[in-house]
Amino acid sequence: MAMELMKMPQLGESVTEGTISKWLVKPGDHVTKYDPLAEVMTDKVNAEVPSSFTGIIKELKADENQTLAVGEVICSIEVETAKTDNENAGQVSHSEENVDASVTRDVQQAVEPSSKARYSPAVLKLSQEHGIDLSKVKGTGNEGRITRKDLLKLVEAGNLPKADEPSTISDSAPEAMAPQVNRQTSPATNVTTAAGDKEIPVTGIRKAIASNMLKSKHEIPHAWTMVEVDASNMVKLRDNLKSDFKQKEGYNLTYFAFFVKAVAQALTEFPELNSMWAGEKIIQKKEINISIAVATEDALFVPVIKNADEKSIKGIAREIQELASKVKAGKLKAEDMQGGTFTVNNTGSFGSVQSMGIINYPQAAILQVETIVKRPVVINDMIAVRDMVNLCLSLDHRVLDGLVCGRFLARVKEIIEKISKDNTSIY
């Protein structure tokens, strides 16, 4: 027998950690290669982690709802093998050496006096969520390293060291520090609660969304602009086609499909918006992959329409339907969420008429398509009632400037306003 270690995989671009939402195995269970071990949740996707080995589950290294960094061990498996004991021993030694070497590097980085202290992604995330000053925390890990359990112990006791507090908090919290039952203060936000208030636990997926949004707002200098578009011709064409289309194709021809197609076309002409900030350089993506936001009752998912510029309005409508169905059925896969280069958000489906979206990191822009409403407008010095819609663009000002974004929005506006029965094909 040989012991192998399963580690937290990277389930998407820019994903640095995952939360074990549910274990599908327990110690002693026999698994074969590719059997699902656990359901893992990240800020991009919910996915099952398959086993890389055939054998017996020896130990689960993480609890449910525990967040682990990519590469951290989640469980150990006693592997069935026909190799000799010497070969098995070599494999175990090799696996352990890799893990030990990784831990040693982390410890050395954490305690090296000549450099800035380093912390694991899980520790940094918790400290940011609860406003903890890590310089005032005494760790219980190897060489005094601060662990996630150290911070959880402080959070549970309500004994959090803040930047303006002079004293250092030890690794153990006395029971006397426990919050009062009838009236207490939340350690994370200093929000006072009273009798009758309802406390709702933050789910793993909500934490993942919050973490990604916080990262986007902290790292990306957002700017915002908007154009008003006359969508009357588009509305007329879609309304004339929708019944026959549904009967023939079996799914809806939505307004949103027209907007996604218009954006994809405009991106081919203004590729600057199909870019990403990468520190010392800007990466202009060749493929135009449109991320679309799909909301459930308690979460937001962002699946991707790949190569949207090469698809017809019909093809885009079909993908929107398929991706939304996967989200609602909980069948969205990791690959469905990867590779997005620009996001289009259908905020109009909730009745919004104007909004500023938070950019989907690491993309450079997000377009909010608002509700189409009938409004009086002046045409040829006469007042007419038209179907109007606001398109709101949030942009990363490190990558994009107002001039190119203004031209991009003007082009999207032009495409939408020129849609008609005579010059627009949905196939």
Q: pLDDT tens digit string along 29-52?
A: 999 888 889 988 876 667 788 898
Among 93, 94, 75, 91, residue whose Cα is nearest residue 83: 91
Task: Name the β-bridge partners of 227.
Answer: 391
- The answer to whether residue 89 scores a pLDDT higher than 70 is no
Whole-number Cα distances in Å, 170 to 136, 138, 142, 228, 302 = 8, 5, 16, 58, 41
Identical fold for domains 2-111 and 222-417, yes or no, is: no
CATH 3.30.559.10 fits 222-417, yes or no: yes
Which of these is catalytic: 94, 133, 401, 422? 401
Question: Known catalytic residue: 401?
Answer: yes
- Could you give the CA distance from residue 62 to residue 39 in angstroms, rounded to a whole number? 12
Q: How far apart are CA 220 and CA 305, in angstroms?
A: 24
Give domain limits for the chain. Answer: 2-111, 121-207, 222-417
Mean pLDDT score of the chain = 82
pLDDT at 412 over 80: yes
Lowest-pLDDT choice from 18-22, 206-210, 371-375, 394-398: 206-210
Torsion from C-alpha of 262, 267, 270, 273, nearest 10 degrees: 120
CA-to-CA distance for 238 and 234, rounded, in angstroms? Answer: 6
Residue 42, helix vs strand vs coil: coil
Per-residue pLDDT tens over the stretch 233-250? 999 999 999 999 999 999
pLDDT value of position 119: 65
Burial 147-175 (b: 16+ CB within 10 A, else e): bbebbeebbebbbbbeeeeeeebebebee
Name the residue with higher pLDDT: 13 or 364: 364
Are the beta carbons of 263 and 412 closer than 8 angstroms?
yes
CATH of the structural domain 2-111, one choice from 3.90.550.10, 3.30.465.10, 2.40.50.100, 2.40.37.10: 2.40.50.100
The answer to whether the predicted template modeling score (pTM) of the entire model surpasses 0.75 is: no
Three-state DSSP at 49 gives strand
Q: Which of 87-91, 248-252, 288-292, 330-334 shows the lowest mean pLDDT across its residues?
A: 87-91
Q: Which of 29, 106, 171, 397 is catalytic?
A: 397
Positive or negative: CA dihedral 377, 378, 384, 388: negative
* Cα distance between residue 49 and residue 25, in whole Å: 11
Is 30 in the active site? no
Q: Which residues contact 347 (CB under 8 A, 6 or more apart)?
A: 355, 357, 368, 369, 370, 371, 392
Of 106, 14, 99, 12, nearest to 61 by C-alpha is: 99
pLDDT tens-digit profile of 183-217? 444 444 567 778 888 888 877 767 777 777 888 88
